[in-house]
Amino acid sequence: MKKQFFKTLAALTLLFSIGLSSSSKVLAISFPDVAADHWARYYIIKMEQKKIINGYEDGTFKPEDLVTTGEFIKMVAMSYYPDYQYVAPSPDEPDGSHWAKPYVLLLHNKMLDANDYDDARMDRVITRGETTSILCYLYSLSNLNDPEKSKFDRSEEYIKQLTDEAEITDPDMRVHINTCIKNGIINGFLDGTFRKDEGLTRAQAAKIIYYSRYSL
């Protein structure tokens, strides 16, 4: 009986060590331009593992590169519909000429209105302020079983703490930013500003989409 116990213990120890080794290898995945102490390293690795973001052909991630609206929508769509199989739009179809159009249509009437996203907008860098509407809906739909998390916060408690909140005049954006800050999805900078018109970087995109979809 004792002999069998030690055999079982040895087998379990071996399985544990194999699992730990495998896990360590997975967590070791990185890009040469994402340092071990980079603030977004964890989110970048997790999003890469989920096949929502990719590196470039040269193996880099380019965390400080800015994200276009089309790229951001694709990342959000792939996080919400992980099994979606991309079908390239036909150039003969006016509503399917842009490469990101299928992803926009996936999110239509859930997180955005496809009619608001023409080809020109999809190719522009998305701003921090613009992301908050989509992020709020993504977070809400990911937390439908939690009434408190799924609703938008209109209190302005959090947006009022920003030093540049007077520059955020759009009522809907104020609600979205307030909700995102409350839920820890996207925050202001150390100087207290939000910088709604500043472009979003790839590193920032990895963090805020991860928080909106997976940090429940």
CA-CA-CA-CA dihedral for 171, 209, 121, 198, to nearest 10: 70
- pLDDT, residue 14, reads 36
Rounded Cα–Cα distance for residues 114 and 123 (Å) = 15
Check if the beta carbon of residue 75 is closer than 8 Å to that of residue 53: yes
Q: Which two tokens stand for residue 92?
A: 């003969």
- pLDDT, residue 97, reads 75
Rounded Cα–Cα distance for residues 202 and 66 (Å) = 6
Average pLDDT of each block of 10 consecutive residues along the chain (216 residues)?
42 36 44 92 93 90 96 96 79 69 94 95 97 97 92 96 98 98 94 98 96 84
Amino acid letter for position 140: S
| Global confidence as pTM | 0.82
Residue 44 φ/ψ, nearest 5 degrees: -65, -45
- pLDDT, residue 23, reads 37
